[in-house]
Structure 1
Amino acid sequence: MMQNRTTHSKAVLMTLIACVLIFSVGSASVLAGGRAEEDVAIRRLNMGGGWVTGVYYPLAGAMSRIVHVNMDDLSLTVESSGASVVNSNLIGSGDLDLAIVQNDVASHAFNGRAAFEGSAITNMRGMFSLYPEPVQLVARSGAGIDNPSDLAGKRVALGPLGSGAEVNALKVLEAAGLSEGDLRAAERLEAGEAADFLRDGRIDAAFFTVAIGAAVISDLAVSQDIKVVDITGRYADRLMEMEDFYAPVTIPEGTYTGVAQAETVGVVSIVVAREDLPEQLMYDFISAMFDNIDTIHSAHSAGRMVTLDTALDGMTVPLHPGAERFFAEHGMSR
């Protein structure tokens, strides 16, 4: 009888030991699995892509697709954001990780000038340049606007509040010796709204800092007689004296239906990032962009102007270490 009890006790003890071992092995596996998941954890970033109706948004979307297909450790969400000034401020606050901005606005932001006086965005770093963006002053035919000085007493859309177009418009007015007070009305309108106001005769002219052939102007030209006003001669000279990133740009005849060739000045759109993003991650990001540049080229006609050869043209802020390493490997420097 005693032997039976002893045997039974040993059996119970062995069962308990086995359960403990199974639990321990299982726990270790779960912990190991957790560590493995952490090792391949996806870094989630967001990117400011401007207005949905603009050029920045589809190009940012193309970059997001490249990341999705080619980078297992990164997820990139594109945000519809205000424009260059807004994007710069969101980089500064940490609410955006990457953004597309005009190079003139980036320079102002990094150096604490113009709209950023007293609040420099010193954590902004350059990644690569995209394409030229001419300042296009579009006027209704018959409005009597042949140069920037003719804007005096007229109703003018200066671009969306906080946009690069607004910054450029105010600079053009300054180059002409004008201010907002010299206008009959100064409107802050998104590009599509400005086109509608021109079409309806509610304004006489509007500023667009967009790629040559932008749909918003192309569509307007089909339904309304318009002209792209020359910003040349003393106006262009003054602008280039004020800011060294302005450069002459020609908009060829036929770019817009019935619109003659125009001479103006332009800036460059660039991709920027927060300085504290890991060097290796940003190196991998920019490598993926240029390894899959066809995706950007097919996203919008302006995307075809994005090339490695021009990827540092007009770069006005210091490069992110990841971008700097990438370009150094290609024999390029800012």
Structure 2
Amino acid sequence: MVKHHTRRRVLQALGAAGMVGLAGCGGNGNGGAGEQRLSWHAGGTGGTYFPLSNEIKTIVEENTDLSLNVQSTGASVENVGSLADGTADFALIQNDIAFFAKNGTGIDSFQDNAIENLQGVATLYPETITLVTLQGTGIESLSDLSGATINTGDLGSGTQVNANQILESVGVTDYDEQNAGFSQASEQLANGDIDAAFVVGGWPVGAIEDLANTNDIRILSIEGDNREAVKEEASWFADDTIPGGTYSGVDDDVETVAVQAMIATNESVPADTVETVTAAIFDNVDDLSIKTDFISKDSAQDGMSIELHEGAAAYFGETGATQTETEQ
């Protein structure tokens, strides 16, 4: 474990993990013309990306001649690297990470290293920041996290980036960091190996559900002055609420913040392939069972933070590639 004191030191670790593919920002491994098998990179099996991606796989394969190979990954930052070097044709990422990558800014991994071939397809749903602990830890508020052992998500993931942004913005700079996916973080909490964990994903997150079914959990709120400080630090965070009853034993609403999940691709994937995949998904959203209150054709460009791929633009009837005016 490493002791952290500043945001820059926290984020420097990202440059060493999950970004190996960033050096080759041109090729496309699986999405060439005439090839029917596409690579789709998701996230950890305990989050929302992976099960949702497998539902999308089923829809695409039932409605097109394409097949999707869904892979579990470290999620957003790692997925950007896979899109950049062409080992992934499509991936789920956070809209803030997409903006950082496309513009070569925001975090050390992307600073002055813009991923120019990264393009957007559609936004999907709010990704809620869930900060979970157990009742027995004595942690009841964000201020109690000073000196704690915290799992901030997989090394190089969007979850880690968000966690470190939030902790610094509320003045928590002295903590021991662990890095693991949601399922392992749940096990760490249950075993007493960590004090708290950040999970970023559409509620309910399976790993938290499983934890809550066997342990008394507490979800820390991000509200009031703390929430305003978080949003001032990073404008892509939006207010969000985890409804009471989402997780066993958490009966009251919990105020927090969220980013936005989105589908991304790279510019070398053919336009007709992107349009076909996009149409399959958004013409058949009724076949999804995950985040159905949020995913729709009408809202699929809300929060789009990067240039839109021409195939997606064709499906959504956009007159040209678009990019949300998002500032740090």
One of 273, 280, 283 as aligned partner of 2:275: 283
Q: Would you say 1:83 and 2:72 are equivalent positions?
A: no
User: Residue in 2 aligned with 1:28?
Assistant: none
User: Residue in 2 aligned with 1:320?
Assistant: 309
One of 156, 167, 170 as aligned partner of 1:173: 167
User: Residue in 2 aligned with 1:187?
Assistant: 178
Contact 2:44 2:75 in 1 (8 A): yes
Query: Aligned with 2:308: secondary structure?
Result: coil
Between 266-275 and 313-322, report the one with greater CA deviation.
313-322
Q: Would you say 1:209 and 2:203 are equivalent positions?
A: no
Contact 2:46 2:205 in 1 (8 A): no
Q: Provide Cα deviations, 1:221-257, integer angstroms capped at 9, x if missing partner.
A: 1211111101112221122112221100011111111
Query: Aligned with 1:241: secondary structure?
Result: helix
One of 227, 232, 235 as aligned partner of 1:236: 227
By relative contact order (CA 8 Å, sep 6+), the higher-ranking structure is 2
Give, in whole Å, the separation in 1 of the partners of 2:101 and 2:247: 33
Q: What TM-score, normalized by structure 1, do the two folds share?
A: 0.81
Structure having the larger proportion of residues in helix: 1
Q: How big is the shift at 1:143?
A: 2.5
One of 47, 50, 54 as aligned partner of 1:61: 54
Contact 1:148 1:172 in 2 (8 A): no
Q: How big is the shift at 1:159?
A: 0.8
User: Residue in 1 aligned with 2:36?
Assistant: 43
User: Residue in 1 aligned with 2:297?
Assistant: 308
CA separation of 1:325/1:198 partners in 2, compared to 1, >3 Å: closer, same or farther? same
Q: What TM-score, normalized by structure 2, do the two folds share?
A: 0.82
The one-letter code sitting in structure 2 at the alignment partner of 1:274 is: N
Give aligned-pair identity as a percent.
38
Give, in whole Å, the separation in 1 of the partners of 2:207 and 2:197: 12
Q: How big is the shift at 1:110?
A: 1.1
Contact 1:55 1:302 in 2 (8 A): no
Give, in whole Å, the separation in 2 of the partners of 1:307 and 1:138: 29
Q: How big is the shift at 1:92?
A: 1.0
Q: Provide Cα deviations, 1:29-79, integer angstroms capped at 9, x if missing partner.
A: xxxxxxxxxxx944332110112332212222222222322223x332212
The one-letter code sitting in structure 2 at the alignment partner of 1:151 is: L
Q: How big is the shift at 1:329?
A: 6.4
User: Residue in 2 aligned with 1:255?
Assistant: 246
Query: Aligned with 2:291: secondary structure?
Result: helix
Structure 1 residues 151-166: aligned runs within 5 Å:
151-166=145-160
Q: Which has the larger radius of gyration?
A: 1
The one-letter code sitting in structure 1 at the alignment partner of 2:152 is: L
Q: How big is the shift at 1:186?
A: 1.3
Structure 1 residues 102-141: aligned runs within 5 Å:
102-113=94-105, 114=107, 115-141=109-135
Long gaps (5+) in structure 1:
1-39
The one-letter code sitting in structure 1 at the alignment partner of 2:203 is: I
Contact 1:91 1:124 in 2 (8 A): yes
Contact 1:246 1:267 in 2 (8 A): yes
The one-letter code sitting in structure 2 at the alignment partner of 1:200 is: N
CA separation of 1:323/1:200 partners in 2, compared to 1, >3 Å: closer, same or farther? same
Contact 2:190 2:211 in 1 (8 A): yes
Contact 1:130 1:303 in 2 (8 A): no
Q: How big is the shift at 1:303?
A: 4.6
Give, in whole Å, the separation in 2 of the partners of 1:63 and 1:193: 25
Contact 2:46 2:181 in 1 (8 A): no
The one-letter code sitting in structure 2 at the alignment partner of 1:62 is: E
Between 60-69 and 170-179, report the one with greater CA deviation.
60-69
The one-letter code sitting in structure 2 at the alignment partner of 1:158 is: T
Contact 2:45 2:183 in 1 (8 A): no
Long gaps (5+) in structure 2:
1-32
Give, in whole Å, the separation in 1 of the partners of 2:239 and 2:42: 26
Contact 1:123 1:275 in 2 (8 A): yes
CA separation of 1:236/1:325 partners in 2, compared to 1, >3 Å: closer, same or farther? same
Q: How big is the shift at 1:281?
A: 2.2
Q: Provide Cα deviations, 1:282-302, integer angstroms capped at 9, x if missing partner.
A: 12221121122223x13xx33
